[in-house]
Structure 1
Amino acid sequence: MPQSRTVPVAVPGCEYQITVQPGLLAEAGAALRQLSAARKAAIVTDSVVGPLYADQVARSLTGAGFEVCLATVPAGEDHKTLAEVSAVYDQLLPAGIERTTLIVALGGGVVGDLAGFVAATILRGVPFVQMPTSLLAMVDASVGGKTGVNHAVGKNLIGAFHQPVAVLIDPAVLRTLPPRELRGGLAECIKHEIIRDADGFAALEKDISRALELDIDYLAELVAHNVSIKAKVVAADPFERGERAHLNFGHTFGHAIETVSGYSYSHGQCVALGMVAACRLAVILRMIDEATFARVKALVFAAGLPVGGMKLDVGDVVAAMSYDKKVKTGRVRFVLPTRIGQVVVRDDVPPELVRAAVQSLRD
């Protein structure tokens, strides 16, 4: 029996458990039956993950006594829209889902965000379960209760906080993950170490090749470590009124790059570029030294992620930051490191320095 790792999450009015175990997909039904007496379960997946894993999960749920229905959306960030939310409503409502029906989000971050938003809104809210299949979703999107979709103006501008009742993570599914997506997930792992764990950063510098080589035991350990970091931050600040903003390290720059590029960069690539830009900005502001910046840049590069060569217009990227959800009273807020393992939020950065940090990504 593969080792099972559990991480508890406690937020106001809600407690749930994250379980990390190779082979867990086949045991999903039994795990969820212990949590719920619901008659029905609705799997929401996409056109890539569905053909790989939906049948296996459906069989497990059926074997545990659930009546199962399936809703499928097209794969990709450009389909994380209100139109696709409506399409899922159109698939689930005629199937007779009830207020107790479990919505099972089976897929990467896009599916988790979209299915979670469906669960938050359909029938005024039903329980849902995250079953993430990408490394990025495992360590980031599946934890914390943020759900939502994109708008033409920017990313994740429409959404709700809706905590899952459980998160079931099977690292063995990472064997079918495209290498580009695996590298994207490592961007979020690097982020967590920079904001909270200097020792974890040093360990990742030493062992990142094990992740790239798909060492499943190591990936299970890495995922559990990262969800533990995020779970602690979320528990302390479930509605992002303080400390949770630290999780946005790299994302103010990254989301702007993502929007301006029309999502031609993956989310992980954008976070990687965003972290490099944020650290360059911290150097400009004399918050960290060049040696610290070099370590971050080297680890991002070792993960197979971009550290420069951005072709986008600098002015467009800077302008896109003004639409960021984290803007307060007209000020763009940046999460910047003071050392590896510690960050602060700054809203007093002169625009010309922000521009210089973005410009550095083109060099």
Structure 2
Amino acid sequence: MNQDITEIQVTGETSYTVTVGRGVLERVPEALGDRVSKILIVHTPTVGRVASELRDALGARYDQVLLAEVPDAESAKRIEVAAFCWQIMGQADFTRTDAVIGLGGGAVTDLAGFVAATWLRGVRLINIPTSVLGMVDAAVGGKTGLNTAEGKNLVGAFYAPAAVICDLDLLATLPRNELLAGFAEVAKCGFIAEPEILDLIEANVAVATDPSTPEFKRLIELAIGVKVRVVSEDFKEGGLREILNYGHTLGHAIEHAERYQWRHGVAISIGMMYAAELGRLAGALSDEAVDRHRRVLTLLTLPLNYPGGRWQSLLAAMQRDKKARAGMLRFIVLDEIGKPRVLAGVDESMLQFAYQEIAN
């Protein structure tokens, strides 16, 4: 096996290991432990072959390994899909010593985490993300969630996995546009905490976004490291963890407006550009730093603009966002690259003016 493996420890209120490397799926039994007898692998159709191979590999060791194929992307994050998974577990008599594996992108690990958190009030969870977004964001940190007609992730729970296994070999066949959309969350970590990420993207974006290169692995590790440091200190988003929402207030509103047909990273890219403009209007972020947002996101071929006539509907969606408190919108902005803070109680005219800066 390739020995170039990195283990990143999550500490604090929860403790588990995030393993990053190539050919590391063989670590799944170690992560499951000895007490587990039944396993449900929740996966999308796009990783059906990997799910079947994993089921066969685990079948010799465990009493029963079942598959639950769920829809791709945000369509998976519905209560009806969670109920389908619960039905399989109920019919197979899953107990508290059994386990759920989330195999897929960020939406699948969100769903699988919620299923694991709610079945018998909590069973063992292993996340195996198969997308860039899943590796650097959704699979790490213990946030689980479902969408409703009123908004994204309004139903959910904080529930930590027992382990996260990031096998970079699983990214080899990821469509280029999906890979680059996931890089929005990588870039976000660069903007809020780890400028080396931005340096690597700017130095050679083709190398940085090629899953076969050492630079790509380094970027994934740096982004995971940012999230791990934050969630180790603030598991339930009491304070510091809010910085991970950079670009997400408007980004989630755009996802809602597009009926979750857009990739998460595409919406978050526009949201970060908006947050940069808002930070500049608040008198904090320099023109140079705003331009750097534009340059990095453009290198990643991510969008920077959204139609100007949509502001009122986006504002209404943001006011329903779970990050709002007592009706007051909260945004993460930057004082400079790597220095995020909360901006709350902003006059609506400033919010709209910032939006005009990104409107097309």
Structure-1-length-normalised TM-score:
0.95
* Offset of residue 198 of structure 1: 2.5
Would you say 1:334 and 2:359 are equivalent positions? no
2:55 corresponds in structure 1 to 58
Whether the 8 Å contact between 1:172 and 1:216 is mirrored in structure 2 is no
Determine the C-alpha separation between the residues in 2 that align with 1:187 and 1:307: 11
Determine the C-alpha separation between the residues in 2 that align with 1:312 and 1:115: 37
1:268 corresponds in structure 2 to 265
Aligned-partner SS, 1:349: coil
Would you say 1:282 and 2:279 are equivalent positions? yes
Same amino acid, percent of matched pairs: 35
Segments of 5+ residues of structure 2 without an aligned counterpart are none
Determine the C-alpha separation between the residues in 2 that align with 1:105 and 1:39: 17
* Offset of residue 231 of structure 1: 0.4
Q: Which amino acid aligns with 1:227?
A: I
Distance 1:297 1:332, change over 3 A: same
Would you say 1:96 and 2:97 are equivalent positions? no
Q: Give runs of aligned pairs for residues 311-322 of structure 1, distance below 5 A.
A: 313-322=310-319
Determine the C-alpha separation between the residues in 2 that align with 1:141 and 1:336: 21
* Offset of residue 66 of structure 1: 5.2
Determine the C-alpha separation between the residues in 2 that align with 1:200 and 1:75: 29
The answer to which of 118-127 and 70-79 deviates more is 70-79
Distance 1:98 1:216, change over 3 A: farther
2:46 corresponds in structure 1 to 48
Determine the C-alpha separation between the residues in 2 that align with 1:95 and 1:312: 51
Segments of 5+ residues of structure 1 without an aligned counterpart are none
Whether the 8 Å contact between 2:168 and 2:211 is mirrored in structure 1 is no
1:32 corresponds in structure 2 to 31
Q: Paired residue for 2:154, among 133, 154, 157?
A: 157
Distance 1:161 1:312, change over 3 A: farther
* Offset of residue 75 of structure 1: 1.4
Determine the C-alpha separation between the residues in 2 that align with 1:323 and 1:36: 44
Whether the 8 Å contact between 2:73 and 2:105 is mirrored in structure 1 is no
Aligned-partner SS, 1:186: helix
* Offset of residue 285 of structure 1: 1.6
* Offset of residue 264 of structure 1: 2.7
Whether the 8 Å contact between 2:209 and 2:216 is mirrored in structure 1 is no
Determine the C-alpha separation between the residues in 2 that align with 1:330 and 1:38: 45
Q: Which amino acid aligns with 1:169?
A: C
Determine the C-alpha separation between the residues in 2 that align with 1:154 and 1:127: 28
Distance 1:197 1:97, change over 3 A: same
* Offset of residue 283 of structure 1: 1.3
1:130 corresponds in structure 2 to 127
